[in-house]
């Protein structure tokens, strides 16, 4: 892995795909045991989760369903607002749901997603994220059950994570050299 440059920002290798695959395999085993008889619904938060969700689902041999939501953040008068763009498209009443995120930093999008799911009267909500920035969280969560890697407040790209729409396709994760 070599450094990459995007719009004059330099990124260096941070987490390689082999490490990512190992962590996903372990999370998949744990989920498959815990949810073996529950037919869970995996809900991926687009766009960033697409690579992680695809690899994760390959490690889940139990009966399950999957869907996606797409959220957009924008800044209103004084705080970040979340607007749902694309809904789940299935009845989740009484279902065990696993929300799949690429990264959790402030937790604003996750809070919105969990609140929306609770209004749909799901049985349970667990969260699975590839990356989490614990020092950036603005909310308390007791349902983040699966974390691939905890990272500092670093600007990262690759493996679904982008900068100005670029680098989602890279198999490895890179961090900004200036961070």
Any idea which residues carry the catalytic annotation? 105
Contacts of residue 76, Cβ cutoff 8 Å, sequence gap at least 6: none
| Positions of E strands within 47-95 | 65-75, 80-86
Is the Cβ–Cβ distance between 141 and 127 less than 8 Å?
Answer: yes
Task: Give the 3-state secondary structure of residue 115.
Answer: helix
Counting Cα atoms < 13 Å in the Cβ hemisphere of 152 gives 5
Q: Are strands 9-15 and 173-176 parallel, antiparallel or unpaired?
A: antiparallel
User: Cα–Cα distance between 4 and 52 in angstroms, integer?
Assistant: 21
């Amino acid at each position: 892995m070599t450094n990459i440059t995007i719009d004059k920002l330099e990124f260096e290798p941070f987490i390689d795909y082999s490490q990512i695959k190992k962590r996903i395999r372990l999370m998949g085993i744990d989920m498959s045991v815990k949810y073996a008889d529950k037919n869970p619904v995996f809900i991926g938060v687009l766009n960033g989760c697409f690579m992680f969700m695809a690899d994760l689902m390959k490690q889940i041999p139990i009966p399950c369903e999957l869907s996606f939501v797409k959220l957009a953040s924008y800044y209103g008068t004084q705080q970040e607002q979340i607007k749902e763009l694309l809904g789940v498209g299935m009845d989740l009443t009484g279902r065990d749901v696993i929300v799949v995120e690429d990264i959790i930093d402030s937790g604003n999008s996750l809070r919105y997603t969990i609140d929306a799911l609770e209004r749909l009267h799901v049985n349970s909500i667990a969260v699975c994220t590839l990356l989490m920035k614990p020092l950036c969280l603005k909310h308390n969560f007791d349902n983040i059950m699966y974390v691939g890697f905890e990272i500092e407040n670093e600007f990262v790209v690759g493996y679904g994570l982008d900068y100005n729409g670029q680098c989602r396709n890279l198999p490895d994760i890179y961090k900004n050299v200036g961070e």
